[in-house]
Structure 1
Amino acid sequence: MKSSLSLLQKQSLGLSPQLIQSIRLLQMNIPELNQFVAQELERNPLLEYAKRRDLPRQGKSSTAPGDHRAFEEFVALPETLHDHVASQISFTAFTPHERLIANVLAGHLDDTGWLGASASELAGKLNIPPAEVERVLGILQHLDPPGIFARSLGECLEIQLRQRDRFDPAMAALTANLDVLARRDFRTLKVRCGVDDEDLFDMLQEIRALDPKPGNAFHSGAPECIVPDVWATPSPGGGWQIEPDPNTQPKVLIKHTYLKEVSRRVGKKSKEMTFLNECLQNALWLISSLDQRAKTIVKVSNEIVRQQHAFLEYGVAHLRPLNLKAVADVINMHESTVSRVTSNKYMHTPRGVFELKYFFTVAIASSEGGDAHSAEAVRHRIKAMVAEESFENVLSDDEIADRLKEDGIDLARRTVAKYREAMNVPSSIQRRREKRLWHNGNQGLRAS
């Protein structure tokens, strides 16, 4: 067997650790970015936050990223649901045994105020009869907010109606037939409740005034806020101006004086100098990456605003269809880069704060051969048509599709139904029943 050596030359594409970190940096939102930069400053003695004069914006905090004494830290957190319930349990005349059961029940409350376990299940864990758990549960269901400790929607509504002294046999029948109410089958409801149109109208008004998730009124967890990455403001000379907020974008500098002093005291070939050189390279990379990240976001945002300027000026009805490739081709970037930039990034506009992904919508062909329409704008039109319906004229999906076609929007009936269901808009039959009931109820109120 003969052995030999040979050289083989080939090309391969690899990602360096710093390039991978730069990609991750581009995907981060503002809170994640500030947390990452803070960790880098802890690891790297050559880095410090840039001292700059804050530029306050309307509705925004002017706290610099390096200032840990944020205003929010001085504000007391709102009372949570569990704190509210615990304080009431402590003032309720329970025996020690009952108080133990009450605290166990309170521990199984979810954020909506509903009980997340059955009485038999908790009785088994506590090794006590289920009747004892039911008795304590009945006391807890009188606590504030009304409807708390319910195990179902019907029970939640029943608790609130009992506290209002409005749980009569007709209401009992209504809460027992919530599935019929969800279908808006008012004819069946009238039969089962034994009431006429006017009485059913009054009952439904009372049901609408109840809270199906009483616990949602309380704070749960740490406060969350959306921090815009860029601001879109009208330019004095016309058009729109895009700029990052300097008070939320972290900016760091190298401590040149510190680096010079330490370099003078250590040897050029010492381990300390090697460590300083690594820190210097990491610092230069971080400064460059932060600058490149800000420029990339502004570049993508500028193109989005250029293509969606009609939305900023006139509203959602003028939102144009747009995809990632259309933006990427104009600014000479890869689609994946645009996708990373638009994920979890927000733009503040005169019409509100929007995620950059919001401006990318599916195109719907025009029936007249003109420009395509945005799916979001079409959904907005459908919702507006439904809102303008009268009692005598409720539009079916076919009629909505015909009206859209008259406006130059070619949309199939099944697509109209899909958009309508996605917006939680009932069918034409259900809307007609509801409007007829409201009409008859209002007529009865006027007559009385």
Structure 2
Amino acid sequence: MALSQRLELRTSQSLVMTPQLQQAIKLLQLNNLELATYIDQELEQNPLLERDERDRPDADASQAESRRGDEDDLDDRSGERDWDAAPDSFADDMGTDWAAVPGAAGGAGGGMDDSLSGIDQRAATTVSLRDHLLEQVHLSIADATDRAIAEALVDSLDAAGYLAVSLDELADMLGVEAGRIEPVLTRLHGFDPAGVFARDLAECLAIQLRERDRLDPAMHTLVANLELVGQRDWARLKRRCNVDSEDLSDMLAELRALDPRPALAFEGTPVQPLVPDILMRAGRNGGWHLELNPDTLPRVLVNQRYAREVGAAAGRDKAARSFLNDRLQSANWLVRALEQRANTILKVAEAIVTHQAGFFQHGVEHLRPLTLREVAETIEMHESTVSRVTANKYIATPRGTYELKYFFTATIQGADGGSHSAEAVRQRIKTLIDQETPDAVLSDDRIVAILRGEGVDIARRTVAKYRDALRIPSSTQRRREKAAIA
């Protein structure tokens, strides 16, 4: 077989992921905290970028004036949207005070209680549980041996505040009699926070009840029978505690008010408040007004004047001019990418709000099935883009703050060929069970029949799965509970 050479022309298509495209995709999926960190890094690396501080009272007036035109254009394009897509009754029905929404426009300025000033500084200096307990040890225990035992007990606590070792193990470690440790432990049971140094849940709850002077014989018996509380065996609990239904109900309410993990108030990072990316409120003509939260909307500008000065100083230095051009292109790209990110988030939010109009007007039972593909087709973007935009992005609405992904729910087929949102069906199941009476507890089969009568084609095992997800006990347990308390 002879070998020969020849030239052939072929055409093919391929997607080249440029660094700029990769960064644009990354920006889409960042939440507001991650984006703020990314912007800070870019500001450090690029001398031509600067944070836009035109809204600050101490911002340079001439600087703000020179950029006002760009600001107006950007706000018109990506800051907020206002359109008619809702019934006229929306604003009156919700009655929401949007001055209370974080970052919403129109809130009253000033008038804040002075006692709240500096709250962020106080949160940053949270005292650890160990330091808090050791301070109490040093103030209340004078004997050197007892103090050493107390300090060892402090160091033996787990993350929830329970003793992680037995007293015998601790006695062996310290070289003392176990009988010497018990009195010290009893003293520590009176320390703050109430409930620490307990050896199990029952002791933790008993310590807190004793602190409140509520550990009477009936409550002591209740704490000693927590397994019956978990089983919801109210009839046996009433007999053992020798109380009636009303007293048992009050005792259970007291029990629920206790803290089973008292140490968690001290340990760990302070909980960060949820900051929405998008603000939604009633707009003009009964519609909705959407805007990006100004508190999370990053604004950066290219300092063109500084770029010209540096360019003039560089003269014919090729390396310097190359570096300058690279930084200038990178800065311009970031500004455009942030603008495009804002536009995309608003487009996705608009599509979701329009599709879920029933939810915002009437509640969760009117949530409609929605997929990423449907939103992607509506805004003429790729499905993966919608997925990135909705990840870890939150919208503050008159009905609460939700992650954008919340509005994408599975579909349950309707008996008439239509479809229903799985989340709406779950809420309907909860509503049906909440409306039960002691003599008419609904079985899963009965719930299936009711839903099918309402046009929802659902299986019994699906009802059971949704009920379990809602942490609702079976009909047998509910019937026994209602009969015992009645």
Whether the TM-score (by the shorter chain) exceeds 0.5 is: yes
Structure 1 SS opposite 2:296:
coil
Match of 1:177 among 225, 241, 244: 225
Match of 2:25 among 19, 23, 26: 23
415-424 or 82-91, which deviates more: 82-91
Equivalent residue, structure 1, for 2:191: 143
Letter of the structure 2 residue corresponding to residue 60 of structure 1: P
Q: Distance in 2 between matches of 1:19 and 1:126?
A: 63
Q: Distance in 1 between matches of 2:4 and 2:188?
A: 86
Change (3 A) 1:289 1:400: same
Instruction: Give the Å deviation of 1:374.
Output: 1.2
Contact 2:103 2:294 in 1 (8 A): no
Q: Distance in 2 between matches of 1:178 and 1:257?
A: 72
For the pair 1:387 / 2:434, whether they are aligned, the reply is yes
Structure 1 SS opposite 2:285:
coil
Instruction: Give the Å deviation of 1:218.
Output: 5.3
Equivalent residue, structure 2, for 1:313: 361
Change (3 A) 1:57 1:184: closer
Match of 2:102 among 60, 64, 69: 60
Contact 1:101 1:133 in 2 (8 A): yes
340-349 or 101-110, which deviates more: 101-110
Q: Distance in 2 between matches of 1:284 and 1:152?
A: 61
Change (3 A) 1:230 1:162: closer
TM-score (norm 1): 0.84
The residue correspondences of 1:6-405 to structure 2 (distance < 5 A) are 12-53=14-55, 58-60=100-102, 75-77=121-123, 79-80=126-127, 82=129, 83-110=131-158, 112-120=160-168, 122=170, 131-164=179-212, 167=215, 171-189=219-237, 193=240, 195=242, 197-198=244-245, 200=248, 203-216=251-264, 220-369=268-417, 371-405=418-452
Structure 1 SS opposite 2:291:
strand
Structure 1 SS opposite 2:286:
coil
Letter of the structure 2 residue corresponding to residue 227 of structure 1: V
Instruction: Give the Å deviation of 1:323.
Output: 1.4
Change (3 A) 1:263 1:238: same
80-89 or 233-242, which deviates more: 80-89
Q: Distance in 1 between matches of 2:17 and 2:175?
A: 60
Instruction: Give the Å deviation of 1:61.
Output: 5.3
Letter of the structure 2 residue corresponding to residue 138 of structure 1: T
Q: Distance in 2 between matches of 1:3 and 1:98?
A: 95
Contact 1:201 1:437 in 2 (8 A): no
Instruction: Give the Å deviation of 1:100.
Output: 3.8
Change (3 A) 1:273 1:135: farther
Change (3 A) 1:252 1:208: closer
| Paired positions, count | 428
Letter of the structure 1 residue corresponding to residue 17 of structure 2: L
Structure 2 SS opposite 1:52:
coil
Instruction: Give the Å deviation of 1:240.
Output: 2.2
Cα deviation per residue 1:323-344 (whole Å; 9 max; x = unaligned)?
Answer: 1111112222222211111110
State the percentage of identical aligned residues.
Answer: 47
Letter of the structure 2 residue corresponding to residue 417 of structure 1: A
The residue correspondences of 1:432-443 to structure 2 (distance < 5 A) are 432-439=479-486
346-355 or 382-391, which deviates more: 382-391
Instruction: Give the Å deviation of 1:380.
Output: 1.5
Instruction: Give the Å deviation of 1:393.
Output: 2.0
Instruction: Give the Å deviation of 1:361.
Output: 0.9
Cα deviation per residue 1:167-214 (whole Å; 9 max; x = unaligned)?
Answer: 5665555434322321112344456x2636456556545434433233
Letter of the structure 2 residue corresponding to residue 407 of structure 1: E
Q: Distance in 1 between matches of 2:232 and 2:238?
A: 11
Cα deviation per residue 1:412-435 (whole Å; 9 max; x = unaligned)?
Answer: 222111111111112222222222
Structure 2 SS opposite 1:25:
helix
Structure 1 SS opposite 2:140:
coil
Cα deviation per residue 1:397-444 (whole Å; 9 max; x = unaligned)?
Answer: 2222222222222222221111111111122222222222222xxxxx
Change (3 A) 1:433 1:52: same
The structure, 1 or 2, with the larger RCO (C-alpha pairs under 8 Å, 6+ apart) is 2
Structure 1 SS opposite 2:195:
coil
Contact 2:394 2:404 in 1 (8 A): yes
Q: Distance in 2 between matches of 1:40 and 1:7?
A: 47
Instruction: Give the Å deviation of 1:297.
Output: 0.7
Q: What is the RMSD computed on CA atoms of the aligned residues?
A: 3.2
Contact 1:324 1:338 in 2 (8 A): yes
Instruction: Give the Å deviation of 1:283.
Output: 0.8
137-146 or 126-135, which deviates more: 126-135
Contact 2:189 2:197 in 1 (8 A): yes
Q: Distance in 1 between matches of 2:267 and 2:358?
A: 38
Change (3 A) 1:99 1:242: same
Q: Distance in 1 between matches of 2:157 and 2:374?
A: 48
Equivalent residue, structure 2, for 1:445: none
Please list every run of 5 or more consecutive structure 1 residues that lacks an aligned counterpart in the other structure.
Answer: 63-70, 440-448
TM-score (norm 2): 0.78
For the pair 1:406 / 2:453, whether they are aligned, the reply is yes
Instruction: Give the Å deviation of 1:158.
Output: 2.5
Letter of the structure 1 residue corresponding to residue 462 of structure 2: T
Contact 2:101 2:396 in 1 (8 A): no
Contact 1:81 1:215 in 2 (8 A): no
